[in-house]
Chains A and B, each alone.
Chain A
Amino acid sequence: EPEVTQTPSHQVTQMGQEVILRCVPISNHLYFYWYRQILGQKVEFLVSFYNNEISEKSEIFDDQFSVERPDGSNFTLKIRSTKLEDSAMYFCASSADRGGDGYTFGSGTRLTVV
Protein backbone atom coordinates (compact mmCIF):
# COMPACT_ATOMS: atom_id res chain seq x y z
CA GLU A 1 0.00 0.00 0.00
CA PRO A 2 1.39 3.45 -0.91
CA GLU A 3 2.79 5.44 2.01
CA VAL A 4 3.61 9.01 2.90
CA THR A 5 7.22 9.01 4.12
CA GLN A 6 8.53 11.56 6.60
CA THR A 7 12.10 12.24 7.66
CA PRO A 8 13.58 12.51 10.17
CA SER A 9 11.41 10.62 12.64
CA HIS A 10 12.80 12.70 15.50
CA GLN A 11 14.65 16.01 15.45
CA VAL A 12 16.06 17.92 18.37
CA THR A 13 16.98 21.53 17.77
CA GLN A 14 18.02 24.54 19.79
CA MET A 15 15.63 27.45 20.18
CA GLY A 16 16.15 29.99 17.41
CA GLN A 17 17.52 27.47 14.92
CA GLU A 18 15.95 26.72 11.55
CA VAL A 19 14.56 23.26 10.88
CA ILE A 20 13.34 21.61 7.71
CA LEU A 21 10.96 18.69 7.94
CA ARG A 22 10.75 16.52 4.88
CA CYS A 23 7.97 14.49 3.36
CA VAL A 24 7.58 12.32 0.29
CA PRO A 25 3.86 12.22 -0.55
CA ILE A 26 2.18 9.43 -2.48
CA SER A 27 3.33 9.75 -6.07
CA ASN A 28 0.00 10.40 -7.85
CA HIS A 29 -1.40 12.70 -5.17
CA LEU A 30 -1.83 16.38 -5.98
CA TYR A 31 -2.78 17.92 -2.64
CA PHE A 32 -0.36 18.19 0.23
CA TYR A 33 -0.78 19.16 3.86
CA TRP A 34 1.01 19.72 7.11
CA TYR A 35 -0.63 19.16 10.48
CA ARG A 36 0.81 19.25 13.95
CA GLN A 37 -0.05 17.56 17.22
CA ILE A 38 1.23 18.90 20.50
CA LEU A 39 1.73 16.03 22.93
CA GLY A 40 -1.61 14.71 24.19
CA GLN A 41 -3.66 17.20 22.20
CA LYS A 42 -5.67 17.13 19.01
CA VAL A 43 -4.27 17.21 15.51
CA GLU A 44 -4.29 20.78 14.11
CA PHE A 45 -4.26 21.91 10.49
CA LEU A 46 -1.31 24.05 9.46
CA VAL A 47 -1.36 24.42 5.70
CA SER A 48 -2.59 22.95 2.43
CA PHE A 49 -0.65 23.14 -0.82
CA TYR A 50 -1.73 22.57 -4.41
CA ASN A 51 -0.30 23.46 -7.79
CA ASN A 52 2.84 24.89 -6.19
CA GLU A 53 1.08 27.33 -3.97
CA ILE A 54 -0.56 27.53 -0.58
CA SER A 55 -4.31 27.05 -0.89
CA GLU A 56 -5.13 27.58 2.78
CA LYS A 57 -3.26 28.18 6.02
CA SER A 58 -4.23 28.38 9.67
CA GLU A 59 -3.48 31.08 12.23
CA ILE A 60 -0.66 28.87 13.54
CA PHE A 61 1.11 29.09 10.17
CA ASP A 62 2.70 32.49 10.67
CA ASP A 63 5.72 34.08 8.99
CA GLN A 64 8.07 31.66 10.74
CA PHE A 65 6.67 28.81 8.66
CA SER A 66 7.07 28.12 4.97
CA VAL A 67 6.40 25.18 2.68
CA GLU A 68 7.99 24.16 -0.56
CA ARG A 69 7.86 21.44 -3.15
CA PRO A 70 11.45 21.74 -4.38
CA ASP A 71 11.23 18.87 -6.87
CA GLY A 72 8.67 16.39 -8.14
CA SER A 73 8.68 14.23 -5.05
CA ASN A 74 9.52 16.12 -1.85
CA PHE A 75 7.33 18.44 0.20
CA THR A 76 9.03 20.37 2.99
CA LEU A 77 8.02 22.43 6.01
CA LYS A 78 10.55 25.00 7.21
CA ILE A 79 10.43 26.69 10.57
CA ARG A 80 12.77 29.66 10.42
CA SER A 81 13.46 30.38 14.07
CA THR A 82 12.13 27.68 16.34
CA LYS A 83 10.46 28.41 19.66
CA LEU A 84 9.91 26.07 22.59
CA GLU A 85 6.19 25.96 21.76
CA ASP A 86 6.96 24.55 18.31
CA SER A 87 7.74 21.23 20.00
CA ALA A 88 5.18 18.82 18.58
CA MET A 89 4.61 15.95 16.19
CA TYR A 90 4.38 17.23 12.65
CA PHE A 91 2.40 15.14 10.20
CA CYS A 92 2.52 15.41 6.46
CA ALA A 93 -0.48 14.19 4.47
CA SER A 94 -1.43 13.93 0.83
CA SER A 95 -4.57 13.24 -1.15
CA ALA A 96 -5.51 12.66 -4.76
CA ASP A 97 -8.61 14.85 -4.63
CA ARG A 98 -9.98 17.75 -2.65
CA GLY A 99 -12.78 17.20 -0.17
CA GLY A 100 -10.95 15.32 2.56
CA ASP A 101 -11.48 11.91 1.02
CA GLY A 102 -8.44 9.72 0.63
CA TYR A 103 -6.12 11.60 2.97
CA THR A 104 -3.04 9.56 3.84
CA PHE A 105 -0.92 10.68 6.78
CA GLY A 106 2.75 9.97 7.32
CA SER A 107 4.11 8.64 10.62
CA GLY A 108 5.25 12.07 11.66
CA THR A 109 8.38 13.90 12.76
CA ARG A 110 8.72 14.53 16.46
CA LEU A 111 10.30 17.98 16.82
CA THR A 112 11.80 18.83 20.18
CA VAL A 113 12.99 22.40 20.70
CA VAL A 114 15.36 22.84 23.65
Chain B
Amino acid sequence: QQQVKQSPQSLIVQKGGISIINCAYENTAFDYFPWYQQFPGKGPALLIAIRPDVSEKKEGRFTISFNKSAKQFSLHIMDSQPGDSATYFCAASKIDKLIFGTGTRLQVFP
Protein backbone atom coordinates (compact mmCIF):
# COMPACT_ATOMS: atom_id res chain seq x y z
CA GLN B 1 0.00 0.00 0.00
CA GLN B 2 3.00 2.24 0.40
CA GLN B 3 4.22 1.72 -3.18
CA VAL B 4 4.24 4.24 -5.96
CA LYS B 5 4.41 2.65 -9.41
CA GLN B 6 6.07 4.62 -12.19
CA SER B 7 6.24 4.08 -15.94
CA PRO B 8 7.91 3.98 -18.36
CA GLN B 9 11.34 3.01 -17.08
CA SER B 10 12.98 4.91 -19.92
CA LEU B 11 11.80 7.38 -22.51
CA ILE B 12 13.39 8.74 -25.65
CA VAL B 13 11.90 11.91 -27.10
CA GLN B 14 12.95 14.22 -29.89
CA LYS B 15 13.61 17.87 -29.16
CA GLY B 16 10.36 19.78 -29.20
CA GLY B 17 8.27 16.72 -28.41
CA ILE B 18 6.10 15.97 -25.37
CA SER B 19 7.43 13.71 -22.62
CA ILE B 20 4.82 11.94 -20.50
CA ILE B 21 5.59 9.98 -17.35
CA ASN B 22 2.90 8.20 -15.34
CA CYS B 23 2.58 7.21 -11.71
CA ALA B 24 0.00 5.33 -9.69
CA TYR B 25 -0.45 4.99 -5.95
CA GLU B 26 -2.59 2.93 -3.62
CA ASN B 27 -2.61 4.70 -0.29
CA THR B 28 -5.42 7.27 -0.25
CA ALA B 29 -3.82 8.91 2.78
CA PHE B 30 -1.12 10.45 0.58
CA ASP B 31 -1.70 14.18 0.33
CA TYR B 32 1.28 15.57 -1.53
CA PHE B 33 2.60 14.45 -4.91
CA PRO B 34 5.92 15.94 -6.06
CA TRP B 35 8.05 15.26 -9.08
CA TYR B 36 11.81 15.32 -8.76
CA GLN B 37 14.49 15.70 -11.42
CA GLN B 38 17.86 14.09 -10.84
CA PHE B 39 21.04 14.57 -12.84
CA PRO B 40 23.90 12.07 -12.53
CA GLY B 41 25.84 12.53 -9.30
CA LYS B 42 23.32 14.99 -7.88
CA GLY B 43 20.49 14.82 -5.40
CA PRO B 44 16.84 14.92 -6.44
CA ALA B 45 15.62 18.46 -7.08
CA LEU B 46 11.97 19.40 -6.75
CA LEU B 47 10.46 20.16 -10.14
CA ILE B 48 6.75 20.62 -9.48
CA ALA B 49 4.23 19.31 -6.96
CA ILE B 50 0.48 19.00 -6.52
CA ARG B 51 -2.01 18.36 -3.74
CA PRO B 52 -5.09 16.18 -4.35
CA ASP B 53 -7.58 19.06 -4.22
CA VAL B 54 -6.59 20.18 -7.74
CA SER B 55 -6.57 18.20 -10.99
CA GLU B 56 -3.84 20.04 -12.82
CA LYS B 57 -0.89 22.31 -12.12
CA LYS B 58 1.29 23.99 -14.69
CA GLU B 59 4.66 25.65 -14.23
CA GLY B 60 6.30 26.73 -17.47
CA ARG B 61 6.78 23.68 -19.68
CA PHE B 62 5.94 21.25 -16.86
CA THR B 63 2.39 20.12 -16.05
CA ILE B 64 1.10 17.66 -13.48
CA SER B 65 -2.24 16.01 -14.18
CA PHE B 66 -3.87 14.41 -11.17
CA ASN B 67 -6.74 11.89 -11.20
CA LYS B 68 -7.83 11.31 -7.62
CA SER B 69 -10.47 8.67 -8.39
CA ALA B 70 -8.01 6.60 -10.46
CA LYS B 71 -5.18 7.27 -7.99
CA GLN B 72 -2.91 8.29 -10.84
CA PHE B 73 -0.84 11.32 -11.67
CA SER B 74 1.40 12.20 -14.55
CA LEU B 75 4.10 14.65 -15.58
CA HIS B 76 3.98 16.25 -18.99
CA ILE B 77 7.04 18.07 -20.31
CA MET B 78 6.11 20.22 -23.29
CA ASP B 79 8.67 21.27 -25.91
CA SER B 80 11.22 18.84 -24.45
CA GLN B 81 14.83 20.04 -24.62
CA PRO B 82 18.17 18.17 -24.50
CA GLY B 83 18.78 19.86 -21.13
CA ASP B 84 15.73 18.01 -19.78
CA SER B 85 17.63 14.72 -20.16
CA ALA B 86 17.69 13.35 -16.61
CA THR B 87 15.99 10.82 -14.37
CA TYR B 88 12.55 11.80 -13.13
CA PHE B 89 11.00 10.45 -9.97
CA CYS B 90 7.43 10.80 -8.87
CA ALA B 91 6.78 10.62 -5.16
CA ALA B 92 3.92 10.63 -2.70
CA SER B 93 3.87 11.79 0.86
CA LYS B 94 1.79 11.70 4.00
CA ILE B 95 3.14 13.84 6.84
CA ASP B 96 6.86 14.02 6.03
CA LYS B 97 8.02 10.73 4.51
CA LEU B 98 8.40 10.64 0.75
CA ILE B 99 7.73 7.37 -1.08
CA PHE B 100 9.47 7.47 -4.43
CA GLY B 101 8.59 5.79 -7.69
CA THR B 102 11.21 3.72 -9.49
CA GLY B 103 12.30 6.52 -11.81
CA THR B 104 12.16 7.27 -15.52
CA ARG B 105 15.30 7.97 -17.48
CA LEU B 106 14.45 10.60 -20.08
CA GLN B 107 16.69 11.22 -23.07
CA VAL B 108 15.88 14.11 -25.38
CA PHE B 109 17.68 14.03 -28.71
CA PRO B 110 18.26 17.12 -30.85
How many angstroms from the CA of A44 to the CA of B103 in the assembled complex?
12
Question: Do A48 and B100 contact each other (CB < 8 Å), given the known contacts A99-B32, A106-B43?
Answer: no
Partner of A91, one of B31, B43, B49: B43
In the complex, chain B residues whose CB is within 8 Å of the CB of A100: 32, 34, 49, 91, 93, 95-98
Contact of B89 among A43, A106, A108 (CB under 8 A): A43
Interface members, chain B 4-39 (any A CB < 8 Å): 31-32, 34, 36
Category for how many chain B residues contact A: 20 to 34
Query: Is B82's CB within 8 Å of the partner chain A?
Result: no
Judge whether A105 and B44 touch: CB under 8 Å.
yes
A99-B96, A100-B32 given as contacts; is B45 within 8 A of A42 (CB)?
Answer: no
A-B contact count (CB 8 A): 64
CB neighbours (8 Å) of A35 from chain B are 98
**Shortest Cβ distance from A57 into B: residue:** B97
Q: Is the CB of A42 within 8 A of B96?
A: no
Complex: how many Å from CA A101 to CA B55? Answer: 18
Q: Which residues of A contact B49 (CB under 8 A)?
A: 100-101
Distance in angstroms from B104 CB to nearest chain A CB is: 11
A75 at the interface (CB under 8 A from B): no
In the complex, per-residue mask of A95-111: 1 if CB is within 8 Å of any chain B CB, else 0: 10011110111111000
Shortest distance in angstroms between B55's beta carbon and chain A's nearest beta carbon?
Answer: 19
A-B contact pairs, 13 of them (CB 8 A): A4-B43, A41-B102, A41-B103, A42-B89, A42-B102, A43-B98, A48-B96, A48-B97, A50-B96, A93-B43, A99-B96, A101-B49, A103-B46
